[in-house]
Chain A
């Protein structure tokens, strides 16, 4: 346990070549094959796939492009530039925090600040209605998704265990061995071992060894800087700016940054999109195109369509909003464990996915967590309203804390939805209002998980244990399914109401899944591209 973290690598400038200097550009008046809105986990894989198929594709990204080594400080405050900060209104009994919790901005989208968790979904995550009579099934099986999950893991560089105690069998092993267990992971392993809870090193989209991204270039291994959630500065985290976006550009895709989409041009019968209207530097531009792929995330996707009164003949756009129950348990340990070091989520347990005799339906996973100082203290004071000398005494213990968190499935509810408010944002557009209240099943799951996590931390030797309840991820607001009356997009991701609009992000998830969503979003993105290419050929 003593040698948990030793920083052995210099920080290297990212080795993925500077692909921007040779990027193809397309004139606005020329009709391109497709415009992709958003460059995160939903937009980037299909952008690359379409470009590789020889299509002329343009991606529009609302945020700037960054050069991580030059632009990313190891500092949370200045890295707030990675977060989507156009104001959202949080309503309901369990109002969700946005900003640093959820959507991102910049070339790479939220993958720039995601924690790098990439567990696979379970087969039965896609069949909750069949199993429990509630929620929704996915319109295809896990077997159809598996090759795409595998392709993503192999391409982006996922570090993970060679054998895994839970879930379906894999067609291929992870391309890289797991990352080292940081202190939080070692504590969780100790506590779980004593309680008979199985654990495994977790799958992470960060490199345990130097790695070549096929067709792109070499990236260095993780240097255990621990600021994944504030942007990786050496290219070791497999965000889309290190993986699918350079691949797309190599295949002649164009990525326009600072480009914020506001409207669409439509054919006379309003069944076909003929162009995308966006703002860049105070000017309005129009890009002609044959198809549109909308990948702006679970709030901006329905918001943009609602603002334009499109794709909503079902009345379901913005409905069925889901967030993962994501309670965290924290505690102080005797040794200075430097919670800011190492991959944050190094250890996982999925023993509470469909646990026998559980008092909740569906399931949840447990992950160890490292944490950056401002994130930690902000949660502490929001959760417990700690101030004065008590606050300062608590924070003197920060170098000694370690955490563990749950992530559980969530049922959709009629109470939970995204709507347009009457308040205007800094761009003069109606702000989204997000209603969220945990249901009874989610509450039972959170209670169960909190007891387990506290028990694990007690066994591991933690003192001053406390819980922070939160919801994570924004899911389900443009549901995918077979039925045009209850869903927004069909099983290929195409909007029922339009001939050439595809949605590809967490908004089309019919159910929330009991795992972090990024890997599944990327897999869906490749699948949607293949469906589109199949239709074209």
Chain B
């Protein structure tokens, strides 16, 4: 892996953002809208009193972490789509660039925009709704790591799908976080799900983050196994997603799709 090649992919994305600041709006606008929406909702729910936990801390905290993961996934996907829309693959793949370097460049771009988005959310949540992410202590760090790894895995998986099926497959990428939120307990404990759906919860790494947050806020710090399970699962998903993208790339090498891949193809 050569850093200069990863940097070139990152630089291209940064130039795109610089050239059109409206892109920044699309990156951060939904985050800001979401945080206000959920912030006021949690404040309203908290006003009833009688809850066994702090609604703002549990719900708003989970929403922020979930948005962070979703942004990582979508950041990778949209950076990839920029190359689809500009029909630029041939310039990159007929160069010394390796697939893993290309993907690392997309991840680096997504990390930057997602972390900026994360900080904006924390700032709004802290200033307006009194949310403090460190209320669960330093456990927040492995939680962020786990969600980051899984977000990258999902991002690679969906870009692989788009690379294989064509640009129209981008529509499979947008609803992934919303669909997954049903199973991973962002808004409610997974015990609220019917038993047959809890199987899906158990194989999805973010479940272990959100279940752990609820345990910690109830004073139960015995979450070590949750963290290990979640991290192991996230790394497995990352590895499988990378292999999937690689297999699609090799398939496209055989079919010639790399030079033909364009937004016009469906």
Q: State yes or no: do A and B come from one complex.
A: no
Measured CB to CB, the residues of B under 8 A from A are none
